[in-house]
């Protein structure tokens, strides 16, 4: 049975804005952790709110089924709407055509798609002299307009919507001109739908269009048979790819014969169609309302939906706080049948006009809750946030229901509130309630004892509320409300704010680069530098992946419990961690949880059987991994193509991973985690792992492309940072994330002298640190983007401007190893020293004072002022006296005396 979770969309609910007092007072906060099943309510995140309304309910009898009939006016004490999102499969075609161009030897490859969507061609080329199957970027002159570079191996180009569409022809299309005599052996591509994030391949592999005979290998070839002879298209039209190979023998001056020269070729056009299935979202809604009959004290629960098919409500009642399903007393609605004496099933009745269905459920006054799930068919069930829908019912002892007092104290500008949209009013109410709760907690704690422990407890409550609040008030606005800065008086440098996010004063050092594995003694080399790194002011060290790996860098793990890697032995790793602890540095392990390389092949020759201590089979691999024939469930994230993608929805997988991470914490002494490729699986699983391993600090690598238009970076990157924030939120705030948005915007600002980019529309920093600074780990370079890989290298010669930005701003800054042990070391050390001296932390307040073409300037916590860019800036005169502290190429930093 496939269960559809409402988790990504349940926050967009409509609520009445008054309150209901249940049978018992809640002792915990009003904000819910959706990841835990023992929470009381499941209505999108807060206590149900009720408003008295007048109305008449005439619920008639049907046969032996009797329900309340009353002309009495009843109170509408609750009404809630839930979005129901389901997937619908639509079939279409991918069209591939190769035509000769105008010039001799020139060709045009055209790719089209017949389905609506935001289609992107992700493509690259192979050259004749290439060995292996790695892609290369095509020559610049081959790249169509609007193409965007993807690392160093591919291009992404959007398909254009056609103005006129032939019957059963493409709706979107893109043509790529192949350059004559360019030495290109093949063009490789996959089709990506940015609306859904789905990738479309050919027989589980990338599409490959061969241009020479040597490229005709594998089952993913299009446009040619393996003999490179005659090919007949699916439409019955004959299309040919011919290659005439000339073999010539030649001799060198010494009379030696040489291998065959490069083969000349003659190419003819072809046309192919490939069927694809796109799963699109279909949105419906569910509305639940509760009324009470004041004469009989019966609860009348109305359930209705706009879904036009059959809907069965699988339901029961609760008589206490345990949420245990119980069968209610009769009578029952029409078309109700019992299910194994544990629940009832009621088929909702069609509405007039056929625009949905509804049902009325009558419950006795002693019932405390109505609990249910929806069944559309045998394979599709709807639940709420992974739990059953649960509607708490009002007590019959308190009538009439009282409206809740206004959220905030003091007079209000009602005229402005009246024009405020509903989501904004609700969000403001939640924010005020958070503040009230925190004030109450703080007051209680301080009355008991004004101790550091009390302050730490208060701060921890603040963090948890902030994380939960975000998941609640994600409504129609694409951003979250910026978190309030924690004042310095509320936390000192030793206070632990929240598990997984450290104290707020961390400065991270990435303790390796892409080449560090080559010596085989990296742990020993780094151990010798521990004292130096500590003296520079680093408090956290990120170490490379520790496990046995197919790739020497460690990111293709195999046997997770084998810690003898190319960086050193397990004993050398433990000695390094011990030494770092001695000099006051916490240690992060690089945990690769998304994928794992197998030890054995299955009967089909696919590598999907694991060995070692965690001897999983193919059930541990997601079913939609195109390469490894997994038998698990579908992936909850993006696919990593090079290794089997692990199915974290499997109980045995999560159990084994949690045990492994706890073993690493105990055996090696890791204090926390850097989590690799977290785009590949749901952040809720990360929360599970963080709760089990209880790290001091954790950060995830959520790296995807920023927004571009015609090859130029958009100013507004809210969608990009929203995706990162959504992942952090899915973890329950138990882990931060690398602020890829800030890195990308710094690239554009510094490369093109466009420093105005460093402020968003609200005058805040435009990256994740502008929205959720305590979870933003800022950086300018790492082993992927810099080092010898250079996939996304920071603008050359401007690295210190980047460090002047991240080391003076909120968030948790991370510094790359290559920059520490370079000519930048002295300047970086000065910036770290100033950050520590002025107690800048992850929630420090930024006031942006200047954003122009050639200069960006800001004041942080009224204690530090900075500017980057060639333009002029001096901090304003005022009560503070500013002293120039650090100066370098196109940057300056001042501090108050």
Alpha carbon separation from 114 to 628, 692, 839 (Å, rounded): 28, 47, 58
Strand 119-127 relative to strand 148-150, pairing = unpaired
> What are the tokens at 418?
């009246």
Residue in 456, 676, 739, 827 annotated catalytic: 676
What whole-number distance in Å separates Cα of residue 84 and Cα of residue 858? 45
Q: Is 462 helix (H, G, I), strand (E, B) or coil?
A: helix
Strand 607-609 relative to strand 672-675, pairing = unpaired
Task: Specify the long-range contacts of residues 888-892, CB closer than 8 Å, at least 24 apart.
Answer: 888/800, 888/804, 888/827, 889/797, 889/800, 889/801, 890/798, 890/801, 891/800, 891/801, 891/804, 891/866, 891/867, 892/866, 892/867
Q: Is 388 helix (H, G, I), strand (E, B) or coil?
A: coil
Residue in 701, 781, 799, 890 annotated catalytic: 701
Which of 749, 588, 733 minimizes the C-alpha distance to 671? 588
Strand 855-860 relative to strand 846-852, pairing = antiparallel
What whole-number distance in Å separates Cα of residue 115 and Cα of residue 522? 51
Residue length of the chain: 897
User: How many CB atoms sit inside 10 A of residue 721's CB?
Assistant: 30
Contact 177, 142 (CB under 8 A): yes
676 is catalytic: yes
User: How many CB atoms sit inside 10 A of residue 481's CB?
Assistant: 17
Alpha carbon separation from 221 to 156, 263, 351 (Å, rounded): 21, 20, 52
The CA-based dihedral angle spanning residues 221, 226, 227, 232, taken in that order and rounded to the nearest 10 degrees? -60
What whole-number distance in Å separates Cα of residue 141 and Cα of residue 147? 11
229 is catalytic: no
> What are the tokens at 733?
């705030």
Report DSSP letters for 14-60, one per residue: B--SS----SS---S-S---TT-TT-S--SSSS---------EEE--
Q: What is the 3-state secondary structure (H, E, C) of 748-810?
A: HHHHCCCHHHHCCCCCCCCCHHHCCHHHEEECCCCCCCCCCCCCCCCCCCCHHHHHHHHCCCC
Q: In a 10 Å sphere around its CB, with 0-12 CB exposed, 13-18 middle and 19+ buried, how is residue 601 labelled? A: exposed
Beta bridge partners of 377: 380
Q: What is the 3-state secondary structure (H, E, C) of 177-199?
A: EECCCCCEEEEEEEEEECCCCEE
Contact 272, 46 (CB under 8 A): no
Which of 721, 685, 502, 508 minimizes the C-alpha distance to 594? 685
Could you report how far apart the first and last alpha carbons of the chain are, in Å? 67
Asked if omega into 331 is within 30° of 0 (cis), the reply is yes
User: How many CB atoms sit inside 10 A of residue 34's CB?
Assistant: 24
Q: What is the 3-state secondary structure (H, E, C) of 330-381?
A: CCCCCCEEEECCCEEEEECEECCCCCCEEEEEEECCCCCEEEEEEEEECCEE
Q: Is 626 helix (H, G, I), strand (E, B) or coil?
A: coil
Query: Which residues are catalytic, by number?
Result: 676, 701
């Amino acid at each position: 049975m496939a269960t559809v979770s409402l988790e990504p969309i349940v926050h967009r609910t409509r609520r009445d804005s008054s309150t209901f007092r249940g049978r018992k007072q809640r002792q915990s906060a009003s904000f819910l952790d959706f990841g835990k099943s023992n929470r009381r309510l499941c209505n999108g995140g807060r206590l149900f709110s009720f408003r008295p309304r007048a109305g008449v309910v005439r619920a008639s009898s049907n046969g032996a089924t009797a329900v309340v009939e009353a002309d009495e006016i009843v109170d509408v004490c609750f009404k809630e709407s839930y979005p129901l999102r389901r997937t619908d499969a639509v079939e279409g075609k991918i069209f591939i055509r190769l035509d000769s161009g105008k010039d001799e030897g020139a060709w045009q490859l055209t790719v089209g798609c017949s389905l609506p969507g935001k289609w992107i061609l992700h493509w690259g080329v192979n050259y004749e002299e290439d060995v292996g199957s790695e892609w290369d970027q095509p020559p610049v002159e081959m790249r169509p307009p609007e193409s965007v570079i993807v690392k160093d191996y591919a291009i992404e180009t959007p398909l254009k919507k056609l103005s006129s569409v032939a019957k059963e022809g493409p709706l979107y299309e893109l043509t790529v001109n192949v350059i004559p005599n360019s030495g290109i052996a093949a063009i490789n591509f996959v089709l990506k739908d940015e609306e859904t994030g789905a990738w479309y391949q050919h027989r589980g592999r990338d599409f490959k269009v061969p241009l020479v005979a040597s490229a005709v290998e594998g089952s993913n070839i299009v446009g040619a048979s393996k003999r490179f002879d005659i090919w007949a298209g699916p439409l019955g039209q004959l299309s040919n790819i011919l290659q005439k190979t000339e073999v010539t023998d030649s001799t060198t001056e010494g009379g030696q014969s040489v291998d065959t020269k490069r083969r000349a070729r003659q190419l003819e056009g072809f046309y192919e169609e490939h069927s694809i299935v796109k799963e699109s979202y279909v949105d419906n809604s569910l509305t639940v309302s509760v009324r009470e009959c004041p004469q009989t004290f019966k609860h009348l629960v109305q359930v209705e939906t706009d879904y036009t098919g059959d809907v069965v409500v699988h339901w029961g009642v609760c008589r206490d706080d345990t949420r245990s399903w119980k069968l209610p007393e009769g009578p029952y609605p029409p078309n109700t049948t019992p299910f194994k004496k544990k629940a009832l099933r009621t088929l909702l009745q069609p509405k007039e006009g056929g625009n949905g269905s509804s049902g009325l459920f009558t419950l006795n006054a002693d019932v405390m809750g109505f609990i249910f799930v929806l069944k559309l068919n045998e394979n599709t069930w709807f639940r709420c946030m992974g739990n059953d829908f649960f509607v708490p019912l009002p007590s019959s002892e308190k009538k009439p229901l009282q409206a809740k007092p206004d959220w905030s104290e003091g007079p209000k500008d009602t005229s402005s509130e009246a024009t405020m949209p509903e989501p904004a009013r609700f969000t403001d109410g939640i924010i005020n309630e958070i503040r009230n709760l925190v004030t109450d907690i703080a007051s209680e704690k301080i009355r008991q004892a004004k101790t550091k422990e009390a302050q730490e407890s208060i701060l921890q409550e603040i963090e948890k509320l902030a994380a939960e609040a975000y998941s609640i008030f994600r409504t129609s606005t694409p951003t979250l409300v910026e978190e309030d800065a924690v004042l310095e008086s509320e936390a000192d440098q030793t206070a632990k704010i929240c598990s997984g996010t450290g104290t707020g004063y961390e400065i991270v050092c990435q303790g390796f680069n892409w080449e560090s594995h080559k010596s085989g003694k990296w742990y020993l080399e780094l151990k010798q530098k521990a004292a130096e790194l500590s003296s520079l002011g680093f408090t956290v060290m990120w170490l490379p992946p520790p496990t046995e790996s197919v790739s020497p860098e460690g990111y293709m793990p195999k046997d997770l419990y084998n810690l003898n890697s190319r960086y050193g032995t397990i004993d050398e790793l433990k000695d390094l961690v011990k030494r770092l602890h001695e000099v006051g540095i916490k240690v992060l392990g690089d945990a690769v949880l998304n994928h794992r390389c197998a030890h054995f092949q299955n009967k089909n020759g696919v590598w999907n059987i694991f060995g070692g201590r965690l001897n999983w089979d193919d059930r541990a691999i997601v079913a939609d991994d195109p390469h490894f024939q997994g038998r698990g469930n579908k992936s909850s994230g993006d696919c990593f193509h090079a290794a089997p993608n692990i199915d974290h929805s499997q109980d045995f997988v999560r159990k084994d991973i949690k045990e492994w991470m706890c073993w690493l914490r105990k055996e090696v002494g890791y204090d926390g985690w850097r989590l690799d490729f977290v785009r590949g699986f749901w952040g809720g699983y990360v929360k599970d792992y963080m709760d089990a391993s209880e790290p001091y600090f954790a950060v995830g690598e959520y790296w995807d492309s920023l927004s571009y238009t015609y090859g130029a970076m958009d100013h507004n990157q809210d969608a990009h940072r929203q995706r990162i924030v959504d992942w952090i939120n899915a973890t329950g705030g138990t882990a931060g994330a690398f602020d890829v948005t800030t890195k990308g915007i710094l690239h554009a600002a510094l490369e093109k002298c466009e420093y105005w980019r460093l402020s968003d529309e609200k005058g805040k920093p435009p990256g994740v640190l502008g929205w959720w600074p305590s979870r933003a780990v800022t950086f300018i370079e790492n082993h992927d983007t810099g080092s010898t890989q250079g996939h996304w290298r920071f603008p050359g010669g401007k690295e210190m401007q980047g460090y002047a930005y991240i080391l003076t701003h909120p968030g948790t800054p991370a510094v790359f190893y290559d920059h520490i042990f370079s000519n930048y070391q002295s300047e970086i050390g000065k910036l770290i020293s100033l950050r520590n001296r002025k107690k800048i932390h992850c929630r420090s307040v930024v006031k942006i004072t200047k954003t122009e073409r050639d200069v960006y300037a800001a004041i942080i916590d009224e204690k530090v002022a900075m500017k980057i860019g060639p333009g002029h800036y001096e901090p304003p005169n005022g009560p503070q006296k500013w002293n120039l502290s650090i100066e370098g190429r196109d940057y300056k930093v001042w501090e108050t005396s």
